């Protein structure tokens, strides 16, 4: 299941594509600041029954007229199948767009970041044909931004810092610095502030830092409680309730011994309609198959 914190770790680059060049400086890698960035479709599926999607894909144009593709993956845990998928993404993108692709993997977990940073050779050991070398941003790669002045200079980078350090003792200081920076925005920037407030809330996941952020929003950032901001929060809460109800349905079916295929699981997880999920949950209490849950039997 794709979580809200997963979304935040790659969506932040959609909101500010230039954040990529600033963030990877911590890795000792230099990219020119993009002068423009164009979102591309994240669907890398071919005409066969295998669906492959990268989390975020941007075409980056730099000031020296250079272009490259930035594929951003939010990785929450180790997955032995991922390096093969990443190799597919990179080769497919290169063949499709004829532009050099760069893979950025963002991890809020240190062990996952260390695992993702490995160079993976594909091919026989005497002559690997392909090597996957992702750039990885994790808690040890991105600095703690706990100064209000520094946070004000780069709010998107501070949001990313908060998400990656959400389990660290420094999380409180980062959030307070971020709140101070957001308070300094003008009324004209309210929509921008609301987006970064929401991304921060999503990026913190279900950590203690998330509760502190909610307290800060209720007090220090109360002036951003516009209709737009409230709508964004309501959407996030509805999404969270839908995710929870889908998990309840799957757990109930598992406990009752009802077999759930990958396609059926994807349909349940992908449903965002709480009313529909409620009907499915009621049916799952007695159903002997997932088809009965969906109401597709006579």
Structure tokens at 271: 């449903």
Q: Please say if the pLDDT value at position 297 is more than 60.
A: no
Q: Please say if the pLDDT value at position 293 is more than 80.
A: yes
Task: Answer for the pair 105, 123: CB distance below 8 angstroms, yes or no.
Answer: no
Highest mean pLDDT among 31-40, 170-179, 223-232: 170-179
Report the alpha-carbon distance of residue 207 to residue 198 in Å, rounded. Answer: 15
Q: pLDDT by residue (tens digit) across 112-157? A: 999 999 999 988 887 888 999 999 999 999 999 999 999 999 999 9
Q: pLDDT by residue (tens digit) across 176-228? A: 999 999 888 866 677 788 888 888 988 998 889 988 988 888 776 766 654 44
Supply φ then ψ for residue 142, to 5 degrees. -100, 130
Q: Please say if the pLDDT value at position 231 is more than 60.
A: no
**Separation of first and last alpha carbons in the chain:** 30
DSSP annotation of 27: G
Q: pLDDT by residue (tens digit) across 252-292? A: 888 888 999 988 989 998 898 888 998 898 888 888 899 98
What mean pLDDT value characterizes the chain? 85
Task: Answer for the pair 85, 71: CB distance below 8 angstroms, yes or no.
Answer: no
DSSP annotation of 258: -
Structure tokens at 116: 């993702």
Report the alpha-carbon distance of residue 292 to residue 249 in Å, rounded. Answer: 13
Report the alpha-carbon distance of residue 217 to residue 159 in Å, rounded. Answer: 14
């Amino acid at each position: 299941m794709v979580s809200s914190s997963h979304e935040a770790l790659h969506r932040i680059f959609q909101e500010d594509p230039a954040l990529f060049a600033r963030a990877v400086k911590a890795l000792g890698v230099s990219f020119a600041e993009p002068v423009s960035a164009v979102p591309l479709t994240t669907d890398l599926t071919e005409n066969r029954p295998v669906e492959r999607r990268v989390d975020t894909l941007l075409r980056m144009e730099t000031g020296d007229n250079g272009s490259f593709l930035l594929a951003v993956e939010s990785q929450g845990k180790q997955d032995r199948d991922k390096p093969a998928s990443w190799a597919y993404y990179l080769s497919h993108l290169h063949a499709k767009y004829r532009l050099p692709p760069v893979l950025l993997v963002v991890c809020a977990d240190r062990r996952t970041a260390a695992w993702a940073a490995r160079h993976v050779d594909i091919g026989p050991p005497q002559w690997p044909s392909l090597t996957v070398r992702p750039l990885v941003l994790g808690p040890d790669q991105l600095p703690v931004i706990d100064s209000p002045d520094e946070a004000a200079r780069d709010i998107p980078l501070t949001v990313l810092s908060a998400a990656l350090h959400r389990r660290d003792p420094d999380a409180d200081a980062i959030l307070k610095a971020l709140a101070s920076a957001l308070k300094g925005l003008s009324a004209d920037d309210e929509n921008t502030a609301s987006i970064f407030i929401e991304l921060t809330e999503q990026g913190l996941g279900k950590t203690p830092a998330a509760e502190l952020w909610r307290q800060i929003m209720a007090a220090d950032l109360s002036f951003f409680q516009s209709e737009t901001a409230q709508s964004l929060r309501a959407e996030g809460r509805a999404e969270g309730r839908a995710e929870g109800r889908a998990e309840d349905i799957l757990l109930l079916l598992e406990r009752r011994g009802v077999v759930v295929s990958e396609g059926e699981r994807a349909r349940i997880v992908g449903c965002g309609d709480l009313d529909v999920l409620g009907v499915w949950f009621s049916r799952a209490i007695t159903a002997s198959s997932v088809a009965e849950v969906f109401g597709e039997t006579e």
